[in-house]
């Protein structure tokens, strides 16, 4: 695994397990996860796109090397009937090398007004069943995305083995779900942590006795070393020695 993917795996992008994973959070999140999976060593990915949801430019921009996308096979549908047909073709297109299936915006075309109500759910359910069947028979991840909030979204959730939500932040996308939570973000020469990152390391602070919780988590040497630095004097020492000394001895006067 190269350094790019190692950093992604360290906390920014969830790794997919075999099964159908339902993602919400827009195309950028889907691009990030798909590229991370391909860069992590997956050989062949089958992608059925609802129109122009996939951005080839975005994929190449995210990929550490153009070779990362060499195994990506994209088919585009522009109606619900085309999408349904292409998804049903996937079992015949899949091979022993196929280890990822991507179905972005899976419900988008089925929401079209041209699709009769009496066909909508039946067609969509059949597409979901094929995706779930591929995940089971090939034991591979099937990544589907949907940002709706209707009956089709509820149906997709019923077929999902795992769900992941993505939310944009100032530092990048925050992923949460399926036992995963983004704990930090890599930048050029820095690693931006989050509060959940420190909670995972040391546990949550006791709101009534926060300092005793910190000492119990093994932070006593940190507090003592910083407080001790104040005894040496100087601008930094003088600034922190008093407050830290008070924190280290709660309730003492003198």
**Residues 189 and 210 grouped into a single domain:** no
Q: Quote the domain boundaries for residue 17.
A: 3-196
**169 and 45 both lie in a single domain:** yes
156 located within any domain: yes
User: In this predicted structure, what is the pLDDT of residue 129?
Assistant: 97
What's this model's pTM, rounded to 2 decimal places? Answer: 0.70
- Is the same domain home to 188 and 228? no
Concatenated DSSP letters for the chain? --HHHHHIIIIISPPPPSEEEEEES-HHHHHHHHHHHHHTT--EEEEEEESS---HHHHHHH-SSGGGGTTEEEEEESSHHHHHHHHHHHHHH--TTEEEEEETTTTTGGGSTTS-HHHHHHHHHHHHHHHHHHHHHHT-EEEEE----SHHHHHHHHH-SEEEEEEE-SSSEEEEETTEE--EEEETTEEEE-HHHHHHHH-PPPSS-HHHHHHHTT-HHHHHHHHHHGGG-HHHHHHHHHHHHHHHSTT---
Residue 85: its pLDDT value, please?
97
Q: Which two tokens stand for residue 47?
A: 């992608």
Number of structural domains the chain divides into: 2
User: CB neighbours (10 Å) of residue 13?
Assistant: 26
pLDDT of residue 170: 72
Whether residues 145 and 39 fall in one domain: yes
158: domain CATH number? 3.40.50.300
In the prediction, which pLDDT does 203 show?
63
The tens digit of pLDDT for each residue in 11-35 reads 478 889 999 999 998 898 999 999 9
What are the pLDDT digits (tens) for 134-156? Answer: 999 999 999 999 999 999 999 99
Is 148 within a domain? yes
Residues 51 and 108 sit within 8 Å (Cβ to Cβ)? yes
The answer as to whether 62 is a domain residue is yes
Does 140 reside within a domain?
yes
Residue 53's pLDDT is: 79
Question: Which stretches of the chain score pLDDT less than 70?
Answer: 1-11, 171-173, 177-254
Residue 253 lies in a domain: no
Map tokens 């988008």 to a residue.
Answer: 108
Same domain, 162 and 240: no
The string over 93-111, giving b where at least 16 C-beta atoms fall within 10 Å of a residue's C-beta and e elsewhere, is ebeeebbbbbbbbbbbbbb
């Amino acid at each position: 695994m190269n350094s790019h993917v190692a950093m992604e795996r360290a906390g920014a992008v969830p790794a997919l397990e075999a099964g159908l994973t339902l993602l919400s959070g827009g195309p950028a999140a889907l691009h990030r996860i798909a590229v991370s999976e391909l860069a992590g060593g997956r050989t062949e990915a089958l992608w059925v796109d609802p129109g122009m949801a996939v951005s080839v430019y975005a994929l190449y921009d995210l990929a550490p090397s153009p070779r990362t996308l060499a195994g990506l096979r994209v088919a585009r549908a522009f109606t619900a009937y085309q999408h349904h047909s292409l998804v049903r073709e996937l079992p015949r297109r899949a091979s022993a090398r196929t280890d990822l299936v991507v179905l972005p915006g899976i419900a988008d075309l089925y929401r079209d007004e041209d699709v009769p109500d009496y066909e909508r759910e039946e067609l969509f359910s059949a597409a979901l069943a094929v995706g779930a069947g591929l995940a089971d028979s090939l034991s591979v991840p099937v990544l589907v995305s949907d940002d709706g909030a209707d009956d089709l979204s509820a149906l997709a959730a019923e077929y999902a083995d795992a769900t992941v939500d993505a939310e944009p932040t100032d530092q990048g996308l925050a992923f949460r779900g399926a036992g995963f939570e983004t704990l930090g973000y890599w930048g050029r020469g820095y690693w931006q942590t989050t509060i959940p990152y420190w909670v995972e390391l040391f546990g949550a602070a006791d709101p009534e006795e926060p300092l005793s919780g910190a000492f119990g988590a093994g932070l006593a040497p940190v507090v003592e070393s910083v407080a001790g630095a104040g005894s040496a004097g100087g601008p930094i020492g003088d600034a922190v020695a008093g407050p830290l000394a008070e924190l280290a001895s709660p309730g003492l006067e003198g």
